[in-house]
Structure 1
Amino acid sequence: MKYLVMVQGSHADYEAMSGRGPAQGPAWDKESLKAMFDFMNTLNKELVESGEMLDGQGLADPAETRLVSLDAQGRPVVTDGPYAETKEVLAGYWVLDCASLDRVTEIAARVMRCPQPAGAPAYPVVIRRIDETGPVQD
C-alpha cells in the first residue's frame, strides 16, 4: 500500500532554521541543522534501499507560497505568501510503499525522533493512505 507521510512546521520554524529564532522557540545553529539533515539523509537512504521510498522532499520556506483561487466570475485570483493566519504548513513529505499501516507508523515514529534544538516545537507526523482505486470507469 502507498502512503503519504507528512511533516508539518510553521513559518516561524523556517525563520529559526535560518538562524533567526522566534519568540516561541530557539534558533537553529549549524550543528543542529547538520544533525537534522544527517538523520533525514540516513532515513531516506534506508527507505530507498528497502524499496519503500517512492519520493520524498523537504519544502521551501512558506514565504514562497502562492495560492490560486477563483473570484465570483471564475477568474483566477493569485495571492503570494506567507500567510500569518496559517499556523501550520506542510514542511516535507515522503511517498512510501509499505507492506502495512504498522510499518509506515514505525517509520513515522522514527521521523519523530529527528534531532532538533531543545525547546523547538514538535508536530505530529501525519500518515494518509493513497487511494489507488483509480478513476471510475463507464
Structure 2
Amino acid sequence: MKYLVMVQGSQADYDAMAGKASAHSPAWSEKDLQAMFAFMGEINNDLSESGELVDGNGLAEPAQTRFVSAGQDGRPVITDGPYGETKELLAGYWVLDCESLERVTEIAARVAQCPVPEGAPEYPVVIRPIPDNGGGDV
C-alpha cells in the first residue's frame, strides 16, 4: 500500500532556518541545520535501501507559494504567499510503499524524532493512505 507521509512548517520556521529568530522559533545555527539534513538523509537512504521510498522532497518556503482559484467570472485568481491566515503548510513529504499501516507509522515516528533547536515548534507527522482505486495518476 502506498502512503503519503507529510511534515508541516510555517514561514516563521523557514525564516528561523535562515537565522532569523521570532516569537515562534529560535534562529537555527549551521550546526542545527546540518544535524537536520544528516538525520533526514539517513532516513532517505534507509527507505531507498528497503525499497519503500517512491518519492520525497522538502518544499520551498511558503513565501514562494502561489494559490490559484476560480474567480466569480471564471478567470483564475492568483495570490502569492506568505499567508498570515495560514499557520502551517506542507514543508516536505515522502510517498512510501509499505507493507502495512504499522510499518509506515514506525517510519513516521522516526521522522518525528528529527533534531530541532530547543524552543523550536514540533509538528505531528501526518500519514495519509493513497488508495489504489485503479484511476491512474492524477
- Normalised-by-shorter TM-score class: over 0.9
- Give the match for residue 60 of structure 2: 60
C-alpha deviation, 1:35, in angstroms: 0.1
- TM-score, structure 1 as length reference: 0.96
C-alpha distance in 2 between matches for 1:38 and 1:105: 21
SS in 1 for 2:8: strand
Give runs of ≥4 in structure 1 deviating > 3 Å: none
> Could you say what the CA RMSD is over the residues aligned between the two structures, in angstroms?
1.1
One-letter identity of the residue aligned with 2:31: E
- Give the match for residue 8 of structure 2: 8
SS in 1 for 2:107: helix
2:112 matches 1:112: yes
C-alpha deviation, 1:132, in angstroms: 1.2
Deviates more, 1:66-75 or 1:33-42: 66-75
Gaps of 5+ in 1: none
SS in 1 for 2:79: strand
- Give the match for residue 101 of structure 1: 101
- Give the match for residue 44 of structure 1: 44
- Give the match for residue 22 of structure 1: 22
C-alpha deviation, 1:25, in angstroms: 1.8
- TM-score, structure 2 as length reference: 0.96
Deviates more, 1:17-26 or 1:87-96: 17-26
- Give the match for residue 31 of structure 1: 31
C-alpha distance in 1 between matches for 2:67 and 2:59: 15
SS in 2 for 1:22: coil
- Give the match for residue 90 of structure 2: 90
C-alpha distance in 1 between matches for 2:102 and 2:120: 28
One-letter identity of the residue aligned with 2:102: D
Identity %: 67
C-alpha deviation, 1:134, in angstroms: 2.4
C-alpha distance in 1 between matches for 2:128 and 2:30: 32
C-alpha distance in 1 between matches for 2:71 and 2:10: 28
C-alpha distance in 2 between matches for 1:134 and 1:84: 39
